[in-house]
Structure 1
C-alpha cells in the first residue's frame, strides 16, 4: 500500500500550513478559531505519525540508522510544533523552541531528500 510517499508528504504539507494558520490566528487574537484549527492540526499529527510508521516499517531496511534518525527528527518536529503553539498561546518565550524546530525540520527534510524514498536530489 505504501510504496510511495504521497500520503505522508500531503499530510505534513497540510500540517505545516495549518501550523502557520494557527500562529496567525493566535497573533490576531482569534482564540476560538485558533483552537479549532489547532484541533484539526492535531488530527494531522496523528496522520503524519501513522503514515510515517507505515513507511518506516516497510522501507527502513534500506538504511535503518538514517531512517531511524529521520523518524526521530519527524517526531521532534511535531513535538516542537505543538509546544510552540501552546507557549505562543500563553504568551511565553519561544526563542529556543523555534531554533530546535527549524534545526529538526531541516535535518528531517534533508534526510527525506537524501534517502532512497526521497527525490534523490542530494545523492
Structure 2
C-alpha cells in the first residue's frame, strides 16, 4: 500500500479528476445518457478519493494534529455537496445553496490539505 501513502500524488490525481468530472456532469443537460454515465464514473472516483484519503489519514495522522481529522470530515462534506448538486439538479430543484456550500467546503479542504505536513507549502 506504499503507492497510496508514500506521497499525495495518487490522492491529488483522484480529486482533480473528480472535480473535472463533476464540472462536466454539472454542465450537461439533465436526463441525457452522457450525464448519467459521467455521474456513475464520478461516483467511482468518489470511492477512490475516499480510499486514497483514508490511507493517507491513517498513516500520517498523529494525536498532536487534529487537522487531519478536520480535513477528512471536510473532504467527505465536499463529496456530499458535489453529489447533492448533481442529484438536486437532476430533480429540477434549486442548487444555488449547494453550489455555495460545495465551493466553501472545497476551498476549506484544500487550504487545510496544503497546510498539512505532507501538503505543498503555498502559505509559508
Check the 8 A contact 2:85/2:95 in 1, yes or no: yes
Check the 8 A contact 1:8/1:48 in 2, yes or no: yes
Task: State the aligned residue count.
Answer: 121
- Bigger share in helix: 1
* Alignment correspondent of 1:72: 73
Cα distance between partner residues in 2 of 1:52 and 1:121: 20
* Alignment correspondent of 1:13: 16
Deviation of 1:64 after TM superposition, in Å, equals 3.1
| CA deviation string 1:66-122 (max 9, x = no partner) | 111100000000000000000111110111111111111010000111110100221
Cα distance between partner residues in 1 of 2:80 and 2:24: 17
Residues 93-112 of structure 1 aligned to structure 2 (within 5 Å)? 93-112=94-113
* Alignment correspondent of 2:7: 4
- Would the alpha carbon gap of residues 120 and 62 (structure 1) be closer, same or farther in structure 2, given more than 3 Å must change? farther
Q: Give the ranges of 4+ consecutive aligned residues of structure 1 lying more than 2 Å apart after TM superposition.
A: none
